[in-house]
Amino acid sequence: MRRTFLTTIALSLGLAAGVAQAQEKSLTLCWAAWDPANALTELSRDFTAQTGIAMNFEFVPWTSFADRFLNELNSRGKLCDLMIGDSQWLGLAAENGHYVKLNDFFDKEGIDIEDFLPATVYNYSTWPKGSPNYWALPAMGDALAWVYRKDWFARPEIREAFQKEYGRELAPPTTWTELMEVAKFFNGREIDGKVRYGVAIYTERGSEGITMGVTSALYPWGFRYQDPERPYQMEGFVNSPQAVEALEAYKALYECCTPPGHSDAYMVANLDAYKSGQVAMQMNWFAFFPGILKDEEVGAVSGFFVNPRQNEEASVLGGQGISVVSYSDKKDLALQYIKWFAQPEVQQKWWALGGYSAHRAVLEAPDFPKSAPFAGDFLKAMSNVRDFWQEPEYAELLQAMQRRIHDYVVADKGTAKEALDKLIQDWTEIFEDAGKL
């Protein structure tokens, strides 16, 4: 009996050790709570099946995404082993040691960063910008684009009325001038017994919404953050005549053609306005387009178009890279995930599940433009994307722009030129405090 008892204890201890070891072989990946996160959860089951490493996920709504995870990084927390963080965080994360530099790992594992779309490497991976210093692997390509009710656009009576009013055929806008015309045309129009509105655009002040929306106009007008010859010199660039005109156009679009009460709207509010049939068009991220296609109400009647040009073609960058958090106790396991995720076959499945691969083997395949109704527009957008400041002072820079732009566009305070002049003052003070001016 004593021998049996000791054997039982030994087996129990062995089982407990095995369970503990299995629990240790796990990772926590931190990201935003949205449709692509669900796709990544599905995709990651393959990683667990191949490696035995369990995947846990910490997904936070976009409204608190930056606050939650920037606080986690700044406090050197150990919650996240892997983080899919916004491109704008790279400067902060690199200079403060939050992310593991991946150059040596890429070299050791034969991961060629040039296998990924150049724009995504530049924006999601490098710091200083354009340098061969990599802090993330491009994970989720994304840009701001547009959705429209193609069934309304196709109705003969609507097309005839538009032709009569504007002297051209009704079609998805290719310029911001055309966008305004189409929005005005649909705004207040009765369709199927209901009054519709022209467009749902970003106006949210609390996080990043109105900045992402306004820059979708600023960039096509030719906006630049600074003098390319003199870093952090913004006079004549941030407040150029083109920038003023673009900001005025965005305010005019808000005032003329958005649904009632659309004064603090970001991604979800735009989706709700569109899916409920309030608007003919909405701006939103490509990331939501697979979900729109699957929607029972609007999936079959939705079309897509790239951000309209004005003086030039340009789209607002979204998307993120995936990084290993330097405070993790499981960096070796996290690097295994990066290696697995970088494989072309995994990237292909990522796209098929509703994620947005940045791998050239996926994006440059001959059949890619036909793989989804928005695939061709995604390729076009990613070839001319522009991003917000990626400086370590990103959060302060963003808060200043949110305040100044919202005050002008939504609160109707002052002029566009005054708003941009004040923004330069804010940004100059931030860079002076950081010792960059």
Q: Assess if residue 231 is contained within a domain.
A: yes
pLDDT given for residue 14 in this prediction:
45
Do 50 and 132 share a domain, yes or no?
yes
Do 266 and 351 share a domain, yes or no?
no
- The CATH number given to whatever domain includes residue 171 is 3.40.190.10
Do 179 and 306 share a domain, yes or no?
yes
Do 181 and 92 share a domain, yes or no?
no
pLDDT in tens, 95-128: 999 999 999 999 999 999 999 999 999 999 999 9
pLDDT given for residue 323 in this prediction:
98
Q: What 3-state DSSP class applies to 154?
A: helix
Q: What 3-state DSSP class applies to 394?
A: helix
Do 81 and 179 share a domain, yes or no?
no
pLDDT given for residue 15 in this prediction:
41
Spans of the chain below 70 pLDDT: 1-24
Do 291 and 331 share a domain, yes or no?
no
DSSP codes, 38-53: HHHHHHHHHHHHHH--
SS3 content of the chain, % helix, strand, coil (to 5): 50, 15, 30
**In this structure, what token pair is assigned to residue 51?**
């490696």
Burial of 51 (0-12, 13-18, 19+ CB in 10 A): middle
C-alpha 416/C-alpha 221 separation (Å) is: 14
Cβ atoms of 208 and 264 within 8 Å: the answer is no
pLDDT given for residue 63 in this prediction:
86
C-alpha 369/C-alpha 363 separation (Å) is: 8
Do 59 and 120 share a domain, yes or no?
yes
pLDDT given for residue 13 in this prediction:
44
Q: Assess if residue 84 is contained within a domain.
A: yes
**Residue 67 belongs to what domain range?**
27-142+318-386
Do 40 and 108 share a domain, yes or no?
yes
Residue owning tokens 């005032």: 255
Do 276 and 311 share a domain, yes or no?
yes
Q: Assess if residue 22 is contained within a domain.
A: no
**In this structure, what token pair is assigned to residue 284?**
């939103």
Number of domains within the chain: 2
**In this structure, what token pair is assigned to residue 167?**
């002297």
pLDDT in tens, 203-232: 999 999 999 999 999 999 999 999 999 999
C-alpha 248/C-alpha 228 separation (Å) is: 25
Q: How many CA atoms lie within 13 A of 225 on its CB side?
A: 15
pLDDT in tens, 293-307: 999 999 999 999 999
